Structures are given as structure tokens and as C-alpha cells.
Amino acid sequence: MAVFLNRFRPHFVPYSLLVMHKLNTLSCSLALAALLAVPAAFGEVKDSTPKAGADTWEAPAGLAISPDGAELYVACAKTGHVLVLDADGLETKRSIAVSGGASGLALSADGKTLYVTCAAPLSHLAVVDAAHGKVIRTIPAGHTAQAPVLSPDGATVYVCNRFSDDISVINVKSGKETGRIPVDREPVAAAPTPDGKYLLVANHLHHGRADTNVVAAKVSVIDVASRKVTKELILPNGSGMLREIQVSPDGRYAGVVHVLARYQLPTTQLERGWMNTSALSLIDLSDVSLMSTILLDNVDSGAANPWAVAWSADSKTIYITHAGTHELSVIDFTGVLQKLAKAKANPQAAASAGYRSMPDITGDLSFLAGLRERVKLAGKGPRASVTRDHRVYVADYFSGSVERVDAQPGLPVKTQVRHIEPNQTMSILRRGESLFNDATICFQGWQSCASCHSDDARSDGLNWDLLNDGIGNPKNSKSLLLSHRTPPAMSMGVRDTAETAVRSGIRSILFTVQPEEIPVAMDEWLKSMKPIPSPYLVNGKMSSAAKRGETIFNSAETHCASCHTPGLYTDMKHHDVGTGAEEKLYDTPTLVEIWRTSPYLHDGSAVTIRDVLTSHNSKDRHGKTSHLTPAQLDDLAAYLLSL
Ligand code: HEC
Ligand code: HEC
């Protein structure tokens, strides 16, 4: 029987909160036991790499397997090397040093050459002779490069430049970047079709206002010959936090995993995917269109933060890691196709299964019943995966481990785990980051803090109706960078400090009760986060337009600096700057890193800085801007986007 989530009417019952608390006690003590099993070393915090909030540990972020299946390559994001493991026993055989955090890797079809993205504001691609572990050449790429992928003919490497919002096209033979293809927003994964005609790109976040009827991220379809995005596949309303996209080996389908947020409902409860669900969107490559989106959660247990997608060689099984609940889904894809075809071809049968229309499938929390096995993993934070036939390798980001899962159809699933981390004690920072990404401290595993704030505690760009300031007044998610240094918290300042907000988040968003050491670790990690240098900087410096903008910002006429005082760029006070429907006071937000937090203002109604300063400031109540020429407005925006 189908079990739907989108046929429930929001009922504004305050007591649902109380019921939740009771139900939680059990799941929370279980989660706690699991957490306490991890040894925690409070105290020593090693010096970090330049990455924001970094605490050095292996942080395995990418996997590749040699064509003969003998060697497994593991990209280590925080230590800047690639480990080579024997794929059977998972023993570390050797280590290849690259300069900078290894965010992802790809292996040539002959197994001889490794391509490793080293993420930084000025990233590069390291080309490595796999047998000898030598870096042959380094090729510059964009801001925060990741997810390298080879074209089917092996002649091109594509690299996702997350914060340059584009794809680097790198010619393997010449070792040169031959072009950049702009995509929608924050590309985090790409997959070519086997005929080499298209490159499908997963954009992490939506681009646009947050107060419209449909707010969803897209898959950009690049026509490789013309090097242009020729199609954009808009995922269902509320889709975001895209992670990985993969094309089936038979070239017929692509799968992309993401969060499917029910952001339009007031956040009164979590049951049946009330707030965030986890989804797999399937793309039919015969006409490159969105085929269906199916939910990965169960009725009473969420499968939060889906991350990696992989297919078996015969395209019959699809594997998905759940970074929030530390699981692997093994999905009978043939069964999924049959079920979808039945619903499409036979509306009557579909109706008897409860589907009134195809989109109803997207609301069915029992769609995968009988078609999927949820495999509990041993490590924490399974992110990357790679397959060989029906064997899946998974890299656990937080526990620094690699797991091998043998999932032969018809046989019981077998798993083996190996720690690649020499020092397995977690510093408080790593623990804080891991807890922030952990959905097992949430009621029924529906979400983690990262479901709305992403893994690095920024923003999903969605408007949520949190109940801390009443009901019916949604607010755009906030980045947590500098939150602890800029009290009060929340756009109306309803929480006196970020510490209070963290604790109320655990209580009223994860619907759970946790020991104080958990928010303490989260606080420590959040406080350690550093701003990422803006992609608008030119060689790390402000452009001349930005410098001119700085003068305008600091002028007595615009008086921007009187509220956004340089340094933290906030006076930490409330003001009415004419942005609310009625007279409303909002906390002055910091402007640091606003290059990555569009849409702006408490209601996410302004897409660009220009919008904030013009259409949303018609009466000059938000600083004086009406006298500025278009060129001056551009300069001012260039300055703000450089912070
Ligand atoms: C359902 C989405 C969602 C989840 C999950 C979520 N948050 Fe938030 N968070 C928000 C929104 C929306 C805001 C901004 C609200 C406002 O401005 O009134 C916010 C604001 C905050 C702030 C205040 C930031 C500032 O500078 O004012 C903190 C701190 C915070 N969240 C921490 C957390 C923590 C810790 C967790 C996990 C326990 C968490 N959040 C989970 C949506 C979420
Ligand atoms: C009187 C105090 C004050 C002055 C002066 C002021 N601001 Fe603001 N600013 C605010 C407040 C309060 C908000 C939050 C408004 C909201 O969320 O609706 C804000 C929001 C913003 C935002 C959106 C930030 C985000 O993350 O959503 C930008 C950009 C901004 N201001 C730039 C400027 C510029 C540029 C000037 C000068 C032209 C300026 N501000 C002058 C108080 C001020």
C-alpha cells in the first residue's frame, strides 16, 4: 500500500511537539550509545590546512578502482594525498602526495593515470602516474574544484568548479584547460552520457528568489559539441542539496540524489517526512527528461543526506550512500522501472495503488517497499562510493574508514570495514562537524543540521517557517559563519546567542534531547569556521571596481558602514530598513561571504545585491542608494561580493 506524505493538511497543533519528545526518548538513547562508543579527545586541536574550519584528518572524499579491481584509490580531502589500498583486504599499500586537499579523483580507463582535484580558491588538477605515484603535471582550475570525470573517449577531463559556477574542460593530451562552461549554481558532480554527447551537471542549490511557488535546484545538461547548457531539468519543488549524479552503464538513465524539502509546511513535526525527505531523481536519457523522483525514506525512518550514487555493471542495481544515517541503500532498479512503467501505462492499476498522477509517486514513502535493502554501515558519514559488479566500496568521511559491501543479488549482504586513519581519536572540532552532519541524533533520522545548512553550515536558500518567532512568517535559512560572534541570532534576533540557537535547533528542529557535550562540540566547530575567499577576488585581491565600491560603502552619504561596520560588517542591532511588510525590526546581518548566500533579506526575496539596493530600497530607508548611478551600484555590489 502506498503511504503518502503530501496529502496531509498542515495542522497547527502545538501538542505535537510534546508527543514528539516522548517518542524520542528511545531513539535518542540508542543514538547516544552509538555516539559514546566513539572515543572523543577533547583538547588538542592540530593546526589546520587553509580550508575553512579545517581540522586535519584523512577525510576520504573520493574513490576510484583500478580496471583489474585490485587497487582502490582514496582521495583524502584534509591531508592532501591519495591512498592506494589493496581492494580485497583494504590494507593501505602506499600513499601519493598531491598539493592541496584531494577533493575528488578519476582514473583513466587503462588505469594508468589518476586525475585528482585539489580544491582551493585557485584549485588545480593533479595528473598522476598511478603506478609510480608521481605527479606528472598540475593544471589550474576554478574555485573549489571537485568531482573530476573523464569523457567516454578519455580525451577530456571535466572538473566541477563549485564556487566559480562553471565546468573546466581540460584536454588530456595537451594538459591544458581549453574552456569553461558556465552552469547554474554550485556544480558538485557531473556525468557524461556514454555516447559523449551530453554532460549532466548536478547543481548543489537553487538559484533565484525563495518566496516564489517553485523553489528547486536544477540539473544542467551541457551539449558537449557546442559547450553550452542546452537544457535545464528542474527538479520537484523543494529539491536542493544535490550531491552526486551518475549515468547507468547501459546509458539509458541517470540518477541524481538530493534533499526534497517540504519547506512550505510549518515546522511543527518530523513524522512522515514533514520537513525534509531524501530523494532520487531519475532522468530518462532517450529524450534527456526528468522521468520521476522517488523517496528514499521509509514511513517511520528517514534516510537523511543521500550523497553518492553508483550502479552495478549490469545497470540492474543502484547503490546510494546516506551520509546522515550512515547507511547504504541497495535498490532493485529493474523493479523500480517496472513499477514506474506500470503506473504510467495503466492509470487504473496506478489508481488502485493509490497514485492519482505521476507526481504522486514523489510523495509515496513506501514506493521502495520490497525493492530496496537498507544496509547499516560501520563508519560515520559515508560520502563517496565506487562499484565493481555487485561490490560497493564506500568512504566514510568522518570516521576515516573505507568499507567494502558485497551485495550479490540473492545472497545476504556482507560488509567489511578498515580504518585508514592512523589516529582515530576525534578532536572536538571533527566531532562537532560530524554531529552537525549526523541524522542519527534526529527523531527517526529524518534530517541533520546539514539538511538545511549544508555540510559546511551555510544555507539551503529556502524559506522555512520555524516556530521560534510565531507561525506563518517564513525566514530564509542563514549561514552560520560568524553566528557565534554576532549575537543575537535569527533574523529577528529571537535567540540571544548562537549557542541558544544551536540548542533550540536540536530540541525543536531535530526533535530530540541530547547531552550538553553535543551542542558544545557543534559550537566549537561552528566557531572555528573561517570565511572562504570570494571567487570575485582577482588573485586574492579586490578588483578595482570593488575598491571603488568600498569608498561608496564607507561614504557618509550611503551610510552603509554605520550599520554594517567593517570588521564583522554588523552593528549587532535591530533596524527597520523598510524590508518588512509592516514596520519590522531585523537584526543587521554580517555581509561576510554574501557572495554565496543568495537569495538575500529575511524573506529571501532579493536574488542579487542590486535587488537589495534598488527594487527593495525604493524609499532609501536601507542606506541611501537612489542617487547612485548604475555604474556605482555595480561597484558597490562588486565590493560586497568580495567580502
Ligand atoms: C529545517 C531547516 C533547518 C534545519 C534542519 C536547521 N536549521 Fe538552523 N536555521 C534555519 C533557518 C530557516 C534559520 C534562520 C531563521 C531566522 O532567521 O529566523 C536558521 C538559523 C540558525 C542559526 C542562527 C544563525 C544566525 O546567525 O542568526 C543557528 C545558530 C542555527 N540555525 C543552527 C542550527 C543547528 C545547530 C541545527 C541542527 C541542530 C540547525 N540549525 C538545523 C533552518 C534550519
Ligand atoms: C540602519 C541600518 C542599516 C543601514 C544603514 C544599511 N543596512 Fe544593510 N541591512 C540592515 C538590516 C537590518 C538588514 C536585514 C534586513 C532584512 O533581512 O530584511 C540588512 C541587510 C543587508 C543586505 C542583505 C544581507 C543578507 O545576507 O541577506 C545587504 C546586501 C545589505 N544590507 C547591504 C547594505 C548596503 C550596501 C548599505 C548601504 C547602501 C546598507 N546595507 C545599509 C541594516 C542596515
Q: What is the pLDDT of residues 452-502, one digit of tens each?
A: 999 999 999 999 999 888 888 899 999 999 999 999 999 999 999 999 999
Q: How far is the CA of 242 from the centre of ligand 1 (A)?
A: 19
Q: pLDDT band for position 31 (50/70/90)? A: very low
Percent pLDDT > 70 in the chain is 89
Q: Is residue 209 part of a domain?
A: no
CA distance readout (Å), 473 to 3, 29, 104: 29, 34, 40
CATH, residue 93: 2.130.10.10
pTM listed for this prediction:
0.90
Q: In degrees rounded to 5, what are phi and psi of residue 58? A: -60, -40
Provide the 3-class DSSP secondary structure of residue 43: coil
Is residue 432 within 8 A of residue 521, CB to CB? The reply is: yes
pLDDT surpasses 60 at 148 = yes
Q: SS3 of 440, please?
A: helix
Domain C-terminal end among 149, 165, 181: 165
The one-letter code for the residue type at 595 is W
pLDDT of residue 610: 95
pLDDT at 100: 84
Would the CB of 457 count as within 6 Å of ligand 2? no
Query: From ligand 2's centre to the CA of 107, what distance in Å?
Result: 47
Contact 151, 224 (CB under 8 A): yes
Alpha carbon of 582 to ligand 2 centroid (Å): 17
How far apart are the C-alpha atoms of 536 and 544, rounded to whole Å?
11
* Predicted pLDDT at 5: 56
pLDDT of residue 3: 58
pLDDT at 98: 94
Pocket flag, ligand 2, residue 588 (CB < 6 Å): yes
What are the pLDDT digits (tens) for 214-226? 999 999 999 999 9
- Domain membership of residue 184 (yes or no) is no
Please give the number of the atom of ligand 2 that sits closest to the Cα of 560: 37
Q: Atom of ligand 1 at shortest distance to CA of 587?
A: 27
Contact 400, 58 (CB under 8 A): yes
- Report which protein residue has its CA nearest ligand 2's atom 10: 588
Q: Check which CATH number belongs to the domain holding 617 and give it.
A: 1.10.760.10
Say if 280 falls within a structural domain.
no
Q: Which ligand is nearest to the CA of 487?
A: 1
Pocket of ligand 1 (CB under 6 A): 267, 275, 447, 449, 451-453, 464, 466, 469, 475, 477-478, 480, 483, 489-492, 498, 501-502, 505-506, 509-510, 522
d(CA 300, CA 360): 19
**Could you tell me the residue range of the domain that residue 146 belongs to?**
60-165
Q: Which atom of ligand 1 lies closest to the CA of 469?
A: 18
- Give the pLDDT of residue 126: 97
Q: Which DSSP symbol is given to 497?
A: S
Q: Nearest residue CA, atom 11 of ligand 2?
A: 588
Average pLDDT over residues 152-170: 98
Residue 394 in domain: no
Q: Residue 465 Cα, ligand 2 centroid: separation in angstroms?
A: 22
**What letter would DSSP give residue 608?**
S
Residue nearest to atom 13 of ligand 1 (CA): 477
Grid coordinates of 20: 514528539
Residue 418 lies in a domain: no
Helix (H, G, I), strand (E, B) or coil at 341: helix
Q: Evaluate if residue 160 carries a pLDDT over 50.
A: yes
Answer yes or no: is 72 within a domain: yes
Q: Which residue bears the cell 579586490?
A: 542
Reported as a pLDDT band with limits 50, 70 and 90, residue 46 is: very low
Rg (CA), the chain: 24
CB distance 35 to 417 below 8 Å? no
**DSSP-assigned beta bridge partners for residue 427:** 41
How many independent structural domains does the chain possess? 2
Ligand 2 centroid to Cα of residue 577, in Å, is 7
- Predicted confidence band at 348 (pLDDT cuts at 50, 70, 90)? low
Average pLDDT over residues 60-84: 95
Please write the tens of the pLDDT for every residue from 547-598.
Answer: 999 999 999 999 999 999 999 999 999 999 999 877 689 999 999 999 999 9
Q: Is the CB of 569 under 6 A from ligand 2?
A: no
Determine, yes or no, domain membership for 451.
no
Residue 389 falls inside a structural domain: no
Largest CA distance in the chain: 74
Nearest to 406 by CA among 305, 325, 330: 330
State how beta strands 414-419 and 426-427 pair. unpaired
Q: Report the nearest atom of ligand 2 relative to the CA of 576.
A: 12
- Say if ligand 2 is within 6 A of residue 600 CB: yes
**Cβ of residue 592 lying under 6 Å from some atom of ligand 2:** no
Q: Residue 157 pLDDT more than 80?
A: yes
- Residue nearest atom 3 of ligand 1, based on CA coordinates: 452
Q: Is the pLDDT reported for residue 38 higher than 90?
A: no
Distance (Å) from CA 272 to ligand 1 centroid:
21
Q: What is the pLDDT of residue 39?
A: 31
Element (H, E) at 283: strand 276-284
Which residue among 150, 165, 180 closes a domain? Answer: 165
The residue behind cell 566547530 is 525
> Which of 111, 136, 165 finishes a domain?
165
